[in-house]
Amino acid sequence: MQRNLFLGVEAIGQASIDAGISGVYAYPGTPSTEITEYIQHSKTASERKIHREWSANEKTALEAALGMSYAGKRSMACMKHVGLNVAADVFMNAAITGVNGGLVVTVADDPSQHSSQNEQDSRYYGKFAMIPVFEPSNQQEAYDMMYEAFEFSEKTGLPVMMRITTRLAHSRAGVVQKTTKDENQLRLPENLMQFMLLPAYGRKYYQNLLDKQDWLTELSEKSSFNAFYEGEEKSLGIVCCGIAFNYLMENYPEDDCPYPVVKIAQYPAPKEMLIRLENECDELLVIEEGYPLVEELLTDFFGKGTKVSGRLDGSLPRRGELNPDHVAKALGKEITPDWNSPDTLVGRPPSLCAGCGHQDTYKALNEVVKDAGEGRVFSDIGCYTLGALPPYSTINTCVDMGASITMAKGAADAGLSPVFAVIGDSTFTHSGITGLLDCVVEKTNINIIIVDNETVAMTGGQDSSAKGRIEKICEGVGVAPEHIRLFVPLKKNHDEIVKLMREEVAWEGVSVIIGRRECVQRLAKMKKLNKSKK
Amino acid sequence: MKTDIILAGVGGQGILSIAASLGAAALNEDFYLKQAETHGMSQRGGAVVSHLRISDKPIHSDLIPQGKADLILSVEPMESLRYLAYLSPEGSLVTNTSEYKNISNYPDLEDTFSELEKKINIVRIDADKMAREIGNPKASNMVMLGAASPFISIDEEIIIKGIETIFQTKGEKIVQLNIEAFKAGRAFAHNK
């Protein structure tokens, strides 16, 4: 059979096209970005005119995806784990409205925080919303699940969460494809008040959701993605979630695991399977990538029941992504490597690229901040967050998308003056505009520096919704035009940039200072692209 | 047949072209393959690693267990040392000697390598220089693949076919330059 080498994210992108989606809605975020990029580059997606433009943020993305579901078509929203926090309002309520066309919310978690502020486990959101969650163990299963997920969503009338983690997202394997299904026809919901959550309706729909829960567990029980593997050795029963199953099997290369195993890839957790495992075995070991969700479910609060080990009792590390060695240790197979890295080795953290404009901005800003003293530069999420590290050490905060402006405002309200907010162009349109409005309304004394490289740089140079719009947005929100200032972050402009920043610091009010120069990576990428077109 | 390879380098050095060539070769042969990459923040000049596993049997883990890698293939000398715990006692280490110094405290590694060479099979090659001599400075990664190829259980012709697959969209001249780079690297390792 024809196999294609797909990253996990690509398998998901292809499967969604093959399952007949009419739109993907997303904001870039590692490790989810390439799902949408894959669809953007797909010939089939282009022929079918599948919606595949970037959204301003995860909330607008998921709302639009829900709107497409309202109209009867299949749609997908993709985001990284912390993106789901942004989309949490619509996510929770979409579980109450249910869907018309199949809706899948694909969320990519980042255990070990390779490129993220935290390692929150999105399965908790799935449980919180009481919707089905799929968690594939490998690339083929990711494809197969996504291919089925839209139908499953339509069958249950609920959005489905597809939860993956960094390792599956960014690992390649051979995947066999299925035939491409037709898209759904435009079809309004049978009940035109299905998406009306006035309390009187909302109560009724919430009850419907509650009434579906036993059925969802039953479907998990019968799901071909969940499995009970027999084992002769009953001293231990093992529960594996998602890709943790691979790490277990890696420790039994001849497929000779002696213990009974429950593999969970679809939630709610398959209760009967777990009861059977508990009945058969003396103790349980739960191996899951992320927080100890299933382990907590199975662990008896008063400690009187069956012993359950995993991340909570230290058998496995409490945080970070798993690997085959962690699992080996939990199984009592201690492995000591023959070599260790020499002491001479030093770390090599990520850094701003040579020629990046953020460096020029930070050099100037450092001079200006020195006047007032350090500890007053609030920042945000993007390449420019690397300005926290030497040699710049300019910025003091990075919390969540858009928080630079609002946290600087809060600090200004508390009496800190002057304050600075450093935010990227795309982060500004993602979640910065509303914070700016707060500042304008209250005439906050704040210096907002928008480091505009005209792209979403950190995730690989996607189109930014901010491009060509920043000044007009700021004016529209109510910033005085004479305090919307522009500079070009280049070494030769250093003195001019410092002077301009100092002028705005001297002005008591809302200043927006835009440093605009295209991302050097994006520039190189575009040059290469144009060259190959010629 | 099974080869587990740790590919190491610095974000932006393009270790993925090596992985892609081997991936194409493995697929042509109907082998199983898993290849875990580093995307995201580290790509901005940080340390990056890829776990590449090729086998004639299904592969479970995307990550290679410690002490099981047959080969560490690094396009940067210091990065070749970062993942030593993965190398099997019988494994080999093949590294470029061209240093990528984007940090201020880059150590002198000569003594470390001399010590290690007593215990581990190490091939050190100035792939950048060799690629320049061939007339294609960009092909240094293919020199590295060539130097590592004797330690990979895939026939030379099949890897070359993989290189052809990966570079074919860039034209015949680029394909030939990369194959030449591969062969030069391979000859170096054989003559060592």
Q: Which residue of A has its CA nearest to B90?
A: A338
Q: Which residue of A has its CA nearest to B119?
A: A339
**Residue B181 maps to a domain:** yes
Residue from the list A31, A324, A350 with its beta carbon closest to the beta carbon of B61 = A324
- The answer, for B33 touching chain A at a CB cutoff of 8 Å, is yes
* Average confidence (pLDDT) over A130-142: 98
Q: What are residue A533's phi and psi, to 5 degrees?
A: -70, -35
Interface ipTM above 0.85: yes
pLDDT value at A1 more than 80: no
Spatial distance between the Cα atoms of A12 and A148, rounded to a whole number of angstroms: 11
The set of residues, in sequence order, having a beta carbon less than 8 Å from that of A123 and lying 6+ positions away, is A133, A135, A161, A163, A267, A290, A291, A293
Which of the 8 DSSP states describes residue A73?
-
Q: Which residue of A has its CA nearest to B106?
A: A346
* Average confidence (pLDDT) over A166-171: 96
**Residue B47 maps to a domain:** yes
**Residue B65 maps to a domain:** yes
- The answer, for B35 touching chain A at a CB cutoff of 8 Å, is yes
Spatial distance between the Cα atoms of A439 and A480, rounded to a whole number of angstroms: 12
Q: What is the CATH number of the domain that holds B79?
A: 3.40.920.10
Q: Which residue of A has its CA nearest to B19?
A: A172
Q: What are residue A259's phi and psi, to 5 degrees?
A: -95, 150
The set of residues, in sequence order, having a beta carbon less than 8 Å from that of A330 and lying 6+ positions away, is A285, A287, A309, A310, A315, A316
What is the enclosing helix (H) or strand (E) of A436? Answer: helix A433-442
Q: Are B45 and A348 within 8 A, CB to CB?
A: yes
Task: Report the percent of chain A where pLDDT is more than 70.
Answer: 99
Q: Are A339 and B120 within 8 A, CB to CB?
A: yes
* Average confidence (pLDDT) over A47-68: 98
Q: What is the pLDDT of residue B191?
A: 87
Q: Which residue of B has its CA nearest to A8?
A: B36
Q: Give the rounded distance of the alpha carbon of A270 from its chain centre.
A: 26
Q: What is the mean pLDDT of chain A?
A: 96
Q: What are residue A522's phi and psi, to 5 degrees?
A: -65, -40
Substitution target in B39, B48, B70 with the highest count of A β-carbons within 10 Å is: B39
Name the token pair of A424: 């990227």
Name the token pair of A396: 């003091």
Measure the N-to-C terminal CA separation of chain B; round to a whole number of Å.
25
CA nearest B140: which of B97, B173, B107, B169? B97
* Average confidence (pLDDT) over A317-336: 94
Q: Give the rounded distance of the alpha carbon of A229 from its chain centre.
A: 32
Residue from the list B12, B41, B112 with its beta carbon closest to the beta carbon of A115 = B41
Q: Which residue of A has its CA nearest to B46?
A: A350
Q: What is the pLDDT of residue B44?
A: 80
Q: Are A341 and B42 within 8 A, CB to CB?
A: no
What are the structural domains of chain A?
3-222 (3.40.50.970), 227-330 (3.40.50.920), 357-523 (3.40.50.970)
Spatial distance between the Cα atoms of A203 and A341, rounded to a whole number of angstroms: 60
Q: What is the pLDDT of residue A533?
A: 63
**Residue B105 maps to a domain:** no
pLDDT value at A204 more than 60: yes
Sequence length of chain B is: 192
Chain A CB contacts of B42 below 8 Å? 114-115, 350
Name the token pair of A376: 């007053």
**Residue B104 maps to a domain:** no
Three-state SS letters, A109-147: ECCCCCCCCCCCCCHHHHHHHCCCEECCCCHHHHHHHHH
CA nearest A513: which of A405, A381, A376, A392? A405
Q: What is the pLDDT of residue B14?
A: 81
Q: Point out which residues pair with A448 in neighbouring strands.
A: A421, A512
**Residue B108 maps to a domain:** no
Name the least confident of A149-153, A395-399, A444-448, B9-13. B9-13
Q: What is the pLDDT of residue A338?
A: 87
Q: Which residue of A has its CA nearest to B111?
A: A344
The set of residues, in sequence order, having a beta carbon less than 8 Å from that of A112 and lying 6+ positions away, is A119, A166, A319, A320, A321
**Residue B106 maps to a domain:** no
Q: Angle at Cα A399 formed by Cα A396 and Cα A405, nearest 5°?
A: 75
Cβ(A333)–Cβ(A164) below 8 Å:
no
Cβ(B13)–Cβ(B100) below 8 Å:
yes
Q: Are A341 and B85 within 8 A, CB to CB?
A: yes
Q: Are B105 and A345 within 8 A, CB to CB?
A: no
CA distance A459 to chain B (A): 6
- The answer, for B83 touching chain A at a CB cutoff of 8 Å, is yes
Chain B CB contacts of A344 below 8 Å? 81, 107-109, 111-112
Three-state SS letters, chain B: CEEEEEEEEECCCCHHHHHHHHHHHHHHCCCEEEEECCCCHHHCCCEEEEEEEEECCCCCCCCCCCCCEEEEEECCHHHHHCCHHHEEEEEEEEEECCCCCCCCCCCCCHHHHHHHHCCCEEEEECHHHHHHHHCCHHHHHHHHHHHHHHHCCCCHHHHHHHHHHHHHHHCHHHHHHHHHHHHHHHHHHHHC
B16-25 burial string, b = 16+ CB within 10 Å, else e? Answer: bbbbbbbbbb
pLDDT tens digits, A110-119 = 999 999 999 9
Compute chain B's Rg from CA coordinates. 16
pLDDT tens digits, A74-124 = 999 999 999 999 999 999 999 999 999 999 999 999 999 999 999 999 999
Interchain CB contacts (distance < 8 Å): A and B: 155
Tell me whether residue A414 is exposed, middle or buried, using C-beta atoms within 10 angstroms of its C-beta: 0 to 12, 13 to 18, 19 or more: exposed
Chain A CB contacts of B41 below 8 Å? 30, 114-115, 350, 458
CA distances from A379 to A87, A357, A427, A524 (A): 22, 16, 10, 27
pLDDT value at A534 more than 70: no
Range of the structural domain that residue B178 is part of: 2-98+113-191
Structural domain total, chain B: 1
CA distance B184 to chain A (A): 27
What is the enclosing helix (H) or strand (E) of A325? Answer: helix A324-330
Cβ under 8 Å to A: B residues 99-118: 102-103, 105-109, 111-112, 115-116
Substitution target in B57, B62, B64 with the highest count of A β-carbons within 10 Å is: B62
Spatial distance between the Cα atoms of B132 and A41, rounded to a whole number of angstroms: 34
Name the token pair of A185: 């026809």
Spatial distance between the Cα atoms of B112 and B80, rounded to a whole number of angstroms: 12
Cβ under 8 Å to A: B residues 51-70: 51, 59-67
pLDDT tens digits, A233-279 = 999 999 999 999 999 999 998 889 999 999 999 999 999 999 999 99
Spatial distance between the Cα atoms of A107 and A131, rounded to a whole number of angstroms: 14
Substitution target in A2, A141, A171 with the highest count of B β-carbons within 10 Å is: A171
CA nearest A321: which of A162, A41, A116? A116
Q: Are B61 and A323 within 8 A, CB to CB?
A: yes
Chain B CB contacts of A324 below 8 Å? 61, 63-65
Q: What is the pLDDT of residue B43?
A: 74
Q: Are A325 and B107 within 8 A, CB to CB?
A: no
Q: Alpha helices, DSSP H only, in A157-302?
A: 166-169, 199-222, 244-250, 271-280, 293-298
pLDDT value at A408 more than 80: yes
- The answer, for B89 touching chain A at a CB cutoff of 8 Å, is yes
Q: How confident is the model at residue A362 (pLDDT cuts 50, 70, 90)?
A: very high
pLDDT value at A526 more than 80: yes
* Average confidence (pLDDT) over A479-498: 98
**Residue B103 maps to a domain:** no
Q: Look at the block and give the residue holding tokens 């798993």.
A: A322
Mark the ranges of chain B whose per-residue pLDDT is less than 50. Answer: none
- The answer, for B168 touching chain A at a CB cutoff of 8 Å, is no
Q: How confident is the model at residue A468 (pLDDT cuts 50, 70, 90)?
A: very high
The Cβ of residue A181 has, within 10 Å, a number of other Cβ atoms equal to 15
CA nearest B131: which of B93, B174, B168, B182? B182
Q: What is the pLDDT of residue B11?
A: 87
